[in-house]
A = this chain, B = another copy of it.
């Protein structure tokens, strides 16, 4: 590959001069600049980013670590992050951690070794200490790691309350909840929101809650068990859209019609929620906005060379989208 030396030779100047025109820094004579630019074009020279990174300890790259690329929520988020990052002049490295603590730590190491300028991460297991050790800006998205860290999340509890109350308003008498894994903070918050509304009802007890894994398979299983345990359930709040879709399938398997026999509401507002039959009523997160905000926040931290600031903990609002499943 062509290096800066080749360009310098071709243009009859020193590498220092070439570097100056490349970076628009320092003084360069008008005609020298032209000569160099010509050489660059003629040789189709592209500066070597690795060498650059080595010197600068920066790589114009941001890392994005997500727990489950197969859940459409994260591709949508990734899309937003990528769009925004590119607009701001950064590339993104997307990493899939599987929610596995070891993999997360490994990616953190890898990204740091690659001199990424900053990281956006969605994790349940990472601690504030692990992140502070990195000494580069990190924005936590979709899950809070510590209130002191830059964070973009939504009103999970409030959204869950809206969802549950909405089912009540639709006439549901017995409302079950398909919960995400207890170790996932937002799953816990959503469950709390549900409890807030039905916790004091005379019929309520914990067997109205079934736990899944934020994926469809586990949700089908959980819903089947839940509905067999309580055939009188006429409303389900599922902790995310994928699980809500699973719940619909499970209901059908038991011969129940949605929404006639049982109303089902999800959480996330992934674009898939419009694709099902019946279309899913859901609590919509502003997914694109979350990715965009997180990226802008991260970049601003990077450019101010700081790892946090008091303004950087943001809780976005959610919206109830009524469709056919309720």
A130 to B3, CA, bound (A): 20
Tell me the count of chain A residues lying within 8 A, CB to CB, of chain B.
42
Q: How far is the CA of A24 from the CA of B50 in the complex (A)?
A: 24
Q: Which residues of B are found within 8 Å of A115, using beta-carbon distances?
A: 50
Task: State which of B54, B75, B93, B249 has its C-beta within 8 Å of the C-beta of A75.
Answer: B75
> Are A113 and B49 touching (Cβ within 8 A)?
yes
A70 touches B59 (CB 8 A): no
Question: B-facing mask of A240-278, CB < 8 A → 1, else 0?
Answer: 001001101100100000000000000000011011111
- Smallest CB separation, A210 vs chain B (Å): 19
State in angstroms the CA–CA spacing of A96 and B75 once bound together. Answer: 10
Contact B276 A50 (CB under 8 A): no
Cross-chain contact A114 with B50 (CB below 8 angstroms): yes
User: Which residues of chain B are within 8 angstroms of A94 by Cβ–Cβ distance?
Assistant: 93-94
User: Which of A76-84, A161-169, A296-304 lines the interface with chain B?
Assistant: A76-84
Whether A51 is near chain B, meaning CB under 8 Å from some CB there, is yes
Which B residues lie within 8 Å of A278 (CB)? 277
* 1/0 contact string of A81-125 vs chain B (CB within 8 Å): 010000000010110100000000000011011110000000000
Residue A141 CB within 8 A of the other chain: no
Q: Which of B113, B242, B249 meets A277, CB within 8 Å?
A: B249
- On whether the beta carbons of B54 and A51 are closer than 8 Å, the reply is yes
CA distance A91 to B278 in the complex (A): 40
| Assembly CA distance A110 to B110 (angstroms) | 18
Interface-centre pick from A50, A113, A248 (highest chain B CB count, 10 A) = A50
Cβ of A226 under 8 Å from chain B:
no
Q: In the complex the two chains form, what is the Cα distance from A79 to B68 in whole Å?
A: 9
Q: Would A50 and B248 count as touching, CB distance under 8 A?
A: no
Instruction: Across the interface, name the chain B residue whose C-beta is closest to A107.
Output: B91
* 11 A-B contacts (beta carbon < 8 Å): A50-B53, A50-B54, A69-B75, A69-B78, A70-B271, A93-B93, A216-B271, A245-B275, A249-B275, A252-B277, A276-B276
